[in-house]
Amino acid sequence: MVSDILRVAQAIQRAERILIITGAGLSADSGLPTYRGLGGLYNGLTAEGLPIEAALSGPMLQRNPALCWKYLAQLGEACLGAQPNAGHFAIAELQRLKPECWVLTQNIDGYHRQAGSPAQRLIEIHGELAPLFCQSCGAADAQLAEHLSRPLPPRCARCGGVLRPPVVLFEEMLPEDAIGRLYDQVRQGFEVVMAVGTTASFPYIVEPLAEARRNGGFTVEVNPQHTDVSRWVDARLLARASDVLPELLGHISGH
């Protein structure tokens, strides 16, 4: 493990363009539930007998906003009740040391921004939980915490319409601007691509790793569990992100 950490640190040290892809496993170290995997909140069915993908879907928000918001509120309370961990702060520090280090995250908790990752090099591919906005009149509403203590779904103070977060629900399209930013950067090439705490099953996660491999880049996985990309990345760090990322940073000069 130590030699693997040194190998990854040396690759990062040499590189200019770096992409760090983060998933629920990173925020799990802050105490947030992961969708799937060990101890996942959503293994099995909801209390209503639905798969979580149906409850947290765009069509459900339209058809039965109270039911969809029941589970959005669970996510919201978890995110508001926790904070960025040492892994988020290590990534933000690496971005400070490396001006061409980008972060692509599946997480909606906003912890990368809270930890100091610059917005211009942060792609939140699934959106974020706040601020809410009205589906009827478009008015913004920053009072997520207050709404979670009131009857759901939250309503717009201006027109009474149902509020929603700017997050990608199941069966909804990924935001075009975020996808565009990602593929613009992937086309420019990355010398190191590191997947942290993600099960890595989506094309927009696998493709940047595969592209780096094809072009002679160095690929890394940080995950205590086996995933779809484990067998072909250049280095695997079988550990929790909040433990291994600060250690990795400690081997990079300038820090």
Give the count of beta carbons closer than 10 Å to the beta carbon of residue 29. Answer: 19
Question: Which residue(s) pair with 162 in the sheet?
Answer: 155
Q: Which of 214, 187, 32 is nearest to 105 (CA)?
A: 32
Structure token pair of residue 37 = 């995997």
- Sheet with strand 192-196: strands edge to edge: 122-124, 101-105, 18-22, 192-196, 218-222, 235-237
Residue 200 CB partners (closer than 8 Å, separation 6+):
21, 23, 206, 209, 221, 227, 228, 229
Q: Say if residues 73 and 81 touch (Cβ distance below 8 Å).
A: no
CA distance 23 to 128: 13
Distance CA 30, CA 245 (A): 14
Instruction: Please state, in angstroms and rounded to a whole number, the distance separating the CA atoms of residues 111 and 242.
Output: 13
Active site amino acids: 126
Compute CA 164 distance to the chain's CA centroid, rounded to the nearest angstrom.
19
7 backbone dihedrals φ, ψ, rounded to 5°: -65, -45
Angstrom distance (rounded) from CA 59 to CA 71: 14
